[in-house]
Structure 1
Amino acid sequence: MFNDRLAAQMAAYFLLRNRGRMSVLKLMKLLYLADRESMERYGYPISYDLMVSLDHGPVLSRTLNHINDSAPSSVDGWKDWIGDRAGYEVDLRKDKITLTDLDELSKADVSVLQAVWDKFGHMHKYDLSDYTHDECPEWQDPKGSSLPLRYKDVFQALGKSPEEAEELQAEIYSKQSVDDIFASL
């Protein structure tokens, strides 16, 4: 189930690596690539966010809504970690945040985030956008709109068979359903 505190801590991880500030485009690409990498390694995303294709490549939809201040923040959620969007950039809200403060992230999550940072952190935002166009075959040009990305499409782009991809997607949806039940109690 999507959790804006977890998504904020994913963003905070990358912002910490970039001295506390980053372009929205670059951050969105890194977050998408982290969920994609987690799916490749472990069979599930970190954020459980909705994935969509936009003109500049795939993004995590709910997270982008938080960046654009068009989604409510939970208690100790997005707004407590990530500052308001300033033009095309975001920054950390908290002053003395450290990696140990990112308690929503498992060791496996941090390993994925670090691997994504090591591979892509040096890249310019437009180079990352081009990378996701060229190297993420699940992305489809939405021609000025947005198109939903299914988890099974990502799994197939990562080399899983259609049957494996469907099964992995079903497992993700099943976990989300169980989480939704417990969240409503």
Structure 2
Amino acid sequence: MSYEPRKAAQLIAYLIIKAGGNSLKVLKAVKLVYLVDRESIQHFGFPVLDEKRCSMPHGPVNSLTYGYIAGDYDPEECGWSDYLRDRENHNVALARQDITPDELDELSDADIACADAVWERFGHMTQWQLRDWTHDPRNVPEWEDPNGGSTIIPLQRILHAVGVANADDFADTAASFKLIDQAFESARVH
């Protein structure tokens, strides 16, 4: 697997729909995406989104997804803007008010189940409550204070933190899949 910005946008769109509105605070959206990945890792051994996760001053973050929200990448070329529009007033919003869960074809039933579980548990929290919750080592022990910077959170650390049996084997399998994907991608380019 490789990072799929369209899938990330659909995941955020799904969370916005769950919120019953047209937008979410950026910080809340970023925290929920991280927690959905964490939920998937706990139950299936793999995240919903294939990307690096980092410890940042406001807690753990999916780095590429955060970059798309922050406007670091072109949202037009990857399908991101089909579901989400530019952030304003610290919100990320649906591209259209009539987006329905049926349109979110990149998300599997397992992805939706993880998003639903996270929303059920954390959807009522404000962005600041989520930030504080993810800073507590009893809740998210894989996050480490980066002292104003950013440090990578290895998948293996998350696997251990959520109690996955054979975490080292899962991490090795995930690394093998990434190498296979890179080989196929390289073959397509040549």
Indicate the TM-score class for this superposition, using the shorter chain for normalisation: over 0.9
Matched, 1:116 2:128: no
What RMSD, in angstroms, separates the aligned Cα atoms of the two structures?
1.4
Aligned equivalents of 2:129, 2:11: Cα separation in 1:
21
Alignment deviations for residues 29-67 of structure 1 (CA, whole Å, 9 cap, x no partner): 100000000000000000112100011110100000000
Letter in 2 for 1:6: K
3-state DSSP of counterpart to 1:58: strand
1:14 is matched with 15
Unaligned runs of 5+ residues in structure 2 are: none
Unaligned runs of 5+ residues in structure 1 are: none
1:99 is matched with 101
Aligned equivalents of 1:101, 1:181: Cα separation in 2:
31
Letter in 2 for 1:125: Q
Going from structure 1 to structure 2, the CA distance change for 1:100 and 1:56 (only over 3 Å counts) comes to same
Q: CA deviation at 1:13?
A: 0.5
Equivalent residues of 2:83, 2:99 under 8 A apart: no
Identity of aligned residues (%): 38
Aligned equivalents of 1:104, 1:179: Cα separation in 2:
18
1:71 is matched with 73
1:5-154 counterparts in 2 under 5 A?
5-18=6-19, 19-73=21-75, 75-134=77-136, 135-154=139-158
Aligned equivalents of 1:63, 1:57: Cα separation in 2:
14
Going from structure 1 to structure 2, the CA distance change for 1:74 and 1:45 (only over 3 Å counts) comes to farther
Q: Provide the TM-score with structure 1 as the length reference.
A: 0.93
Alignment deviations for residues 68-113 of structure 1 (CA, whole Å, 9 cap, x no partner): 1102336452122111011311101123110000000011110111
Q: Provide the TM-score with structure 2 as the length reference.
A: 0.91
Equivalent residues of 1:5, 1:74 under 8 A apart: no
3-state DSSP of counterpart to 1:83: strand
